Structure 1
Amino acid sequence: MTRESGTIDGTQAAPAALPTTRALGLLVICAAQFLVALDLSIVNVAVPAMTRELGFDPGSAGWVLSAYALAFAAMLLLGGRIADLYGRKRVFVTSLLVLGAASLLAGAAWSPTVLIAGRVLQGLAAGFIAPSALGLLTASIPEGPQRERALGISGAVLSTGFVSGMIGGGLLTEFLTWRWTIFINVPVVIVAAALAVRWLPESRVRERSKLDVRGGLLSAGAMMLIVYALEEAGPGTSWVSTTLLLAVGVGLVLLFVLCERRSSSPLLPLSLFRIGAVGRANLVGMAMGAAHGGMLIILTLYLQQVLGYGALATGLAFALSGTVAILTGTFTGRFMQRWPLDRVMLFGIAVTALGYAGLIALPEHGGLWLVLVATSIDSFGHIIVVVASSVAANNGVPADHKAVAGAVLNTSQQLGIALGVAVLTSVAFAVTAAQGGAAAPGAMVDGWRWALALGTLVILSAAPLAIAMRKKLRTS
């Protein structure tokens, strides 16, 4: 193993770092991942205040949310490969600074156009931060118990960031102003970037190959079209336009695959999916993302529209499950040290399905306790599966594709969330509309029950994939 210009040789395992250095590096990575997840949810509660102050057209307010998600999804693969080729630490720090600048722009927005432009820049930066962060983690910590423990902490941080966004968005909007839901990024970015420069080792591939720009453009276009179509699908949306967008997006995916097969330096080496259980692990991540994303939207609507809670109280209702996620992530690595990974994953799937299935009994009145208990059980199992699938998705991946592997995992999860939100909310609306009571609480609850039943089946569909990993994981 060699050191060149202060960087870790990307084709071999990273040298063992001192415990303190490694812990501080993990802290920096987790802080950045926390911001990425936070920005996906923190402005949700603030959207009404934003649109009132800046004078949004009623039909364009949703772009405050969609702009970030679309840009984030579009840049993941390209961001991961650029990080592998040009230095994961360099890309990580640069992207953090871009995120900080974009947050200043969006927080100080004086018009809808400026706010949406800032959100797009935030999403683009996040699309580089997420894969480079996971690439740094897996490159600096060798496979085994330490990496599993680190991935457990990372998974807990991601879930905590998303839930914290829902809570923090309400607090900041109510007691300060909606602008602080965006400005809050800036001090964290400054501290994280400074610590990253000091404590994170650089890592990249040894022999830099040509960047596949054509593949990057095709993957970005495909992701933008697919995620946009899925996010816009639902009540009041023409299924003709949705289907057309999806068809074009899938066509770009097929063209992307064809180009990657012929490229001498592919953006996404298709051989990656033949390593160990990488392909199956990403499918598990997609299934869990679909169920979880749909559930959060449904429960948010249930708490506000049926139980009558405000935005802040709704966010606080998810605090218990967020706490469970933090605690679970910290010891999931120990689970995987004592039992085979496939058994840990199956256990997590079973627990997740149990908690999720409990929500099928949502009552029309007084369902808060059911939500608190069921989401806590679901969160316990969900984090176990997320961490286990993250380990499986990186198991045996060569060092020169660590960030790309992270990008693929993030992409599958984002696609799952978009798909779950679109399908589950559409099912709920269809059931409610069939009863002729689109605004009646009983009809809405009935629609959500059917959607949650479908979500339970989606979770259970991951079980055969986990079973099929058994031989792959034990022999990788």
Structure 2
Amino acid sequence: MSTPAGVTAPSAAPVADTNRSGSRALFAVCAATLLVLMNYTAPVAVLPQTARSLGAGLTTQTWLINAINLGLAATLLVAGSLGDDFGRRRIFRVGLALLAASTVGAAVAPDAGTFIAARVTQGVASAAILAVGLGLLAHTFHTHQGRAHATALWASMIGAGIAVGPLAAAALTALSSWRWLYLLLAALAAVLAATGGRLLAESRAERAARIDVPGVLTLGTALALLLIAVTLGRAGWLRPAVLIPLGLSVLLLAAFVATEARTRAPMLDLALFRRSDFRVATIGALFTGLAALGPSTVLPTLVQRLIGVSALGAAGLAFVWAGASYVVSNQLRHHGTRFAPTRQLALGFALTAAGYLTMLGYAGAHSWARTIPGLLISGAGSGLLNAALARLAVASVPPDRVAMGSGANNTARYVGASLGVAASITVASSLLPAGQTGGFSAHGADAVLLLGSGLAVLGAAAALIRRRATAPALA
């Protein structure tokens, strides 16, 4: 197939790892990833203030956090396929422009429904940026060392965004309003969208472009229904309002698998699951969302509600966790190739579990200080997980499937995060003492930590089971 003007196919000579264009591409992708994660975590430390401003109850508050996960999980795979087909730089810039517009929508939202709709759209925009970002780096950095350096820096931006987002939101809320952070992020996204064309080289896969409409509809609807069921489950799992969307979700997921197996241009090539390293990457991403992102996203709200810490104080605790994640991921730029990513996954999950167990009892003791050691330990684990998954997402797929591989990896991560957030809020709000009819409890806070620890152990076990098959190829 001929390559259109201005588009570089994978067969073209890749950009050298150390030249100026490589540095520009790395800056653009990392800056956009930082903006995405700052947007993602913006409501975490100011959820009570945001909920009061929008008139949101407890169930609706779950959607204030989880709506962006819905947009991410439903569209990451199709965004990756669109990047491979129509050009990764093009989809990257479209994602940034949509992120700017939807973030303005969140800033001016008059009610919870409008805010949730804006957050879902932010998720769609973020999916485009994340899915093709790793693909752009894989095209730019073609040596093993160069890719390890670039993906580790990309992973460190996840930690940096999670660290800075809640802190900036809390600071601006204390000064004026939580809405100002969204306006600032929208402006930065617009600037990056306008300059991205000069910072990035276009790349695409050498195959005809075709949108997998049945795959988009079945997967997107299935994930939306699954999240609805899990979110509503806090009021009772055997109600029709929960069982009907849950059953429909299972049926649609089965239809998605059947559709992808038959179509000539699937948005997820099921043949990738024959590769053991791809299976490890996908399972590892799912458990990272469940165990690392889910409980950690809910923790700042629990600390505010149960201990009385201010929004800025809760953001500071989130900064401790995410700061540790950033430092570890950033250090792996220099040492990442010395360790097999499957070993990094296992160690990351082990540290996550250990950190959570260290924090047990903090709510009952009314002590935010008791969370600090656990936040540092679990944050370091998150840094290992992010760096390992970034390497696996690129290394576990063929060169013309890098955006699809990134999309699959991030889809699993944010599906896990959606389920983890919903499950954590459900657990924290269900174990109430006698006479308490709403809110959270100290027993519920401990149960969230135990849930996260158990899921992290399962994630470590899954990584170790496949280590022998994947470590030699990726070490």
What TM-score comes out, normalization by structure 1 length?
0.90
Q: Is the 8 A contact 2:303 2:314 kept in 1?
A: yes
Unaligned runs of 5+ in 1: none
Q: Can you list the C-alpha shifts for 1:329-380, whole angstroms capped at 9, x where unaligned?
A: 1112333322333333333333222222212343522532221111111111
Q: Is the 8 A contact 1:336 1:344 kept in 2?
A: no
Aligned residues: 472
Q: Can you list the C-alpha shifts for 1:17-72, whole angstroms capped at 9, x where unaligned?
A: 54332122111111111222222221345555556556668875654444433222
Matches within 5 A, 1:395-406: 395-406=395-406
Q: Is the 8 A contact 1:155 1:329 kept in 2?
A: yes
Distance 1:328 1:13 in 2: 33
Distance 1:239 1:293 in 2: 28
Matches within 5 A, 1:219-234: 219-234=219-234
Matches within 5 A, 1:302-321: 302-321=302-321
Q: Can you list the C-alpha shifts for 1:420-441, whole angstroms capped at 9, x where unaligned?
A: 22334434444x24x5364799
Residue identity in the other structure for 1:247 = G
2:459 is the alignment partner of 1:462: yes
SS in 2 for 1:184: helix
Distance 1:470 1:58 in 2: 45
Q: Can you list the C-alpha shifts for 1:178-198, whole angstroms capped at 9, x where unaligned?
A: 321211122311332244211
In the alignment, what sits opposite 1:472? 470
In the alignment, what sits opposite 2:380? 380
Distance 1:60 1:349 in 2: 30
In the alignment, what sits opposite 2:16? 16
In the alignment, what sits opposite 2:189? 189
Distance 1:361 1:205 in 2: 52
Q: Percent identity?
A: 26
In the alignment, what sits opposite 1:339? 339
Matches within 5 A, 1:187-226: 187-226=187-226
User: Measured at CA, do residues 378 and 89 of structure 1 come closer, stay the same or move farther in structure 2, by a change above 3 Å?
Assistant: same
User: Measured at CA, do residues 437 and 167 of structure 1 come closer, stay the same or move farther in structure 2, by a change above 3 Å?
Assistant: farther
2:441 is the alignment partner of 1:436: no
Q: Is the 8 A contact 2:324 2:379 kept in 1?
A: yes
Q: Which moved more, 1:412-421 or 1:253-262?
A: 412-421
Distance 1:121 1:103 in 2: 9
Residue 404 (structure 1) shift: 1.2
User: Measured at CA, do residues 108 and 14 of structure 1 come closer, stay the same or move farther in structure 2, by a change above 3 Å?
Assistant: same
Distance 2:469 2:236 in 1: 46
User: Measured at CA, do residues 38 and 117 of structure 1 come closer, stay the same or move farther in structure 2, by a change above 3 Å?
Assistant: same
Distance 1:428 1:49 in 2: 19
Matches within 5 A, 1:342-357: 342-357=342-357
RMSD over equivalenced CA pairs, Å: 2.8
SS in 2 for 1:204: coil
Q: Which moved more, 1:200-209 or 1:13-22?
A: 13-22
Q: Is the 8 A contact 1:437 1:444 kept in 2?
A: no
Residue 314 (structure 1) shift: 0.9
SS in 1 for 2:15: coil
Residue identity in the other structure for 1:333 = R
Matches within 5 A, 1:49-88: 49=49, 63-88=63-88
Residue identity in the other structure for 1:234 = R
Residue 462 (structure 1) shift: 1.9
User: Measured at CA, do residues 194 and 17 of structure 1 come closer, stay the same or move farther in structure 2, by a change above 3 Å?
Assistant: farther
Matches within 5 A, 1:35-434: 35-46=35-46, 49=49, 63-110=63-110, 114-142=114-142, 144-235=144-235, 239-362=239-362, 364-430=364-430, 432-433=431-432
User: Measured at CA, do residues 86 and 334 of structure 1 come closer, stay the same or move farther in structure 2, by a change above 3 Å?
Assistant: same
What TM-score comes out, normalization by structure 2 length?
0.90
User: Measured at CA, do residues 375 and 230 of structure 1 come closer, stay the same or move farther in structure 2, by a change above 3 Å?
Assistant: same
Distance 1:396 1:132 in 2: 16
Residue 131 (structure 1) shift: 0.4
Q: Is the 8 A contact 2:17 2:146 kept in 1?
A: no
Residue identity in the other structure for 2:391 = V
Q: Is the 8 A contact 2:393 2:402 kept in 1?
A: no
Distance 2:312 2:463 in 1: 38
Q: Which moved more, 1:77-86 or 1:364-373?
A: 364-373
User: Measured at CA, do residues 362 and 119 of structure 1 come closer, stay the same or move farther in structure 2, by a change above 3 Å?
Assistant: closer
Q: Can you list the C-alpha shifts for 1:215-245, whole angstroms capped at 9, x where unaligned?
A: 1111111121122323343246765422321
Distance 2:296 2:8 in 1: 40
User: Measured at CA, do residues 115 and 219 of structure 1 come closer, stay the same or move farther in structure 2, by a change above 3 Å?
Assistant: same
Distance 1:403 1:381 in 2: 26
Residue 254 (structure 1) shift: 0.7
Q: Can you list the C-alpha shifts for 1:299-349, whole angstroms capped at 9, x where unaligned?
A: 324421232112221111222222222211111233332233333333333
Unaligned runs of 5+ in 2: none
Q: Which moved more, 1:335-344 or 1:75-84?
A: 335-344
Q: Which moved more, 1:216-225 or 1:12-21?
A: 12-21
SS in 2 for 1:97: helix
User: Measured at CA, do residues 143 and 270 of structure 1 come closer, stay the same or move farther in structure 2, by a change above 3 Å?
Assistant: farther
Q: Is the 8 A contact 1:77 1:219 kept in 2?
A: no
2:457 is the alignment partner of 1:453: no
Q: Can you list the C-alpha shifts for 1:102-128, whole angstroms capped at 9, x where unaligned?
A: 223332345655544433332222222
Q: Can you list the C-alpha shifts for 1:265-310, whole angstroms capped at 9, x where unaligned?
A: 1111101222341112211121122112342255324421232112
Residue identity in the other structure for 1:171 = A
SS in 2 for 1:353: helix
